Amino acid sequence: MTKSKYSTLAGTVLACAALAVGGVRSASAAPVFNLVNDGGFEDPFVGGTFNSYNAGDNFGAWHVDSGGVDLINTYWTSAEGVQSVDMNGTSAGSISQTIGGLSVGQQYQLSFFLAGNPAGGPTIKDLQTSLGGNVLGSNSFDITGKSTSDMGWTQFTYNFTAADSSTLLSFQSLTSAPCTGASALSACGPALDDVSIRAVPEASTVTGFAIMLFGGIVMLARKQKQSKSAA
């Protein structure tokens, strides 16, 4: 085989390897099953603008632990689907759900979208996220320039390693100031939608498979070259 032909074959091998690696990466990046039940807050369906739930109530898979929340439908545009939650009903609320199906030692990513009720103050809405009774962090959202048709939903993520097969996921509004000067009600809180917990693919496994695949293609190319040279 001439040098030019070998170079062409080598280029083809590299191209095939690149496609193969790309295929492996695409497969690993495919959506993994969401362990959060009703993370989009679509259950129950609200027939109008919103429904209110108070401490002790359940809606869908979620439990209201304190205060109150509003399950929003047509009042504003959700991050996904048609419904989302205002974490302040008439006061700052908190909700929770027990997450099952975790594998001990596996890394997971918690993801959610945050916005804020733009109808009134305070301008900065604060939401606290906890897992297994431990606070993961607090996130803030500025409603300046936002509206019910342009909420400005922003995604936040936390990575964690499962220590048990189940854990309690909870969200709590830290926004307690009055919504308007004419009312003492804290009815304009942080908005929450599209909550998910998904396993994080192990990059080492994907990379190792890609390297083995590339090595196999190179060995095949060498055997083809040797066979043609002998002929």
Q: What is the pLDDT of residue 18?
A: 37
CB-CB contact of 13 with 217 (8 Å): yes
60 domain residue, yes or no: yes
43 domain residue, yes or no: no
72 domain residue, yes or no: yes
Residue 22 sits in the same domain as residue 98: no
Residue 111 sits in the same domain as residue 13: no
Residue 16 sits in the same domain as residue 93: no
Residue 94 sits in the same domain as residue 130: yes
pLDDT(4) > 50: no
Per-residue confidence band for 31, with pLDDT thresholds at 50, 70 and 90? low
Q: Which domain holds residue 20?
A: 3-29+210-230
Residue 224 sits in the same domain as residue 153: no
Q: What is the pLDDT of residue 181?
A: 74
158 domain residue, yes or no: yes
Residue 154 sits in the same domain as residue 224: no
Residue 195 sits in the same domain as residue 84: yes
Q: What percent of the chain has pLDDT over 70?
A: 74
151 domain residue, yes or no: yes
Taking all residues of the chain, what is their mean pLDDT, rounded to a whole number?
A: 83
35 domain residue, yes or no: no
Residue 107 sits in the same domain as residue 184: yes
Q: Among candidates 159, 173, 187, which has minimal Cα distance to 70?
A: 187
Question: Per-residue pLDDT tens for 131-157?
Answer: 999 999 999 999 999 999 999 999 999
Tokens coding 24: 């492996």
pLDDT(201) > 70: yes
Residue 68 sits in the same domain as residue 156: yes
For the domain that residue 142 is a member of, what is the CATH number? 2.60.120.260
Half-sphere exposure of 171 (CA within 13 A, CB side): 31
Residue 18 sits in the same domain as residue 131: no
pLDDT(223) > 80: no
Q: What is the pLDDT of residue 5?
A: 39
Angle at which helices 203-230 and 3-28 cross, to 10°: 160
Per-residue confidence band for 204, with pLDDT thresholds at 50, 70 and 90? low
Region 79-83 average pLDDT: 97
Residue 109 sits in the same domain as residue 166: yes
Half-sphere exposure of 174 (CA within 13 A, CB side): 14
Higher pLDDT, 205 or 136: 136
39 domain residue, yes or no: no
Any bridge partners for residue 70, and if so which?
Answer: 52, 86
pLDDT(186) > 50: yes
Q: What is the pLDDT of residue 146?
A: 98
pLDDT(60) > 80: yes
Decide: helix, strand or coil at residue 222: helix
Question: Per-residue pLDDT tens for 161-180?
Answer: 999 999 999 999 999 999 98
Measure the CA–CA gap between 120 and 186, rounded to whole angstroms. Answer: 10
Structural domains of the chain, count: 2
Measure the CA–CA gap between 113 and 115, rounded to whole angstroms. Answer: 7
The residue written with tokens 């109530």 in the block is 57
Q: Among candidates 105, 137, 141, 138, which has minimal Cα distance to 122?
A: 141
Q: What is the pLDDT of residue 106?
A: 97
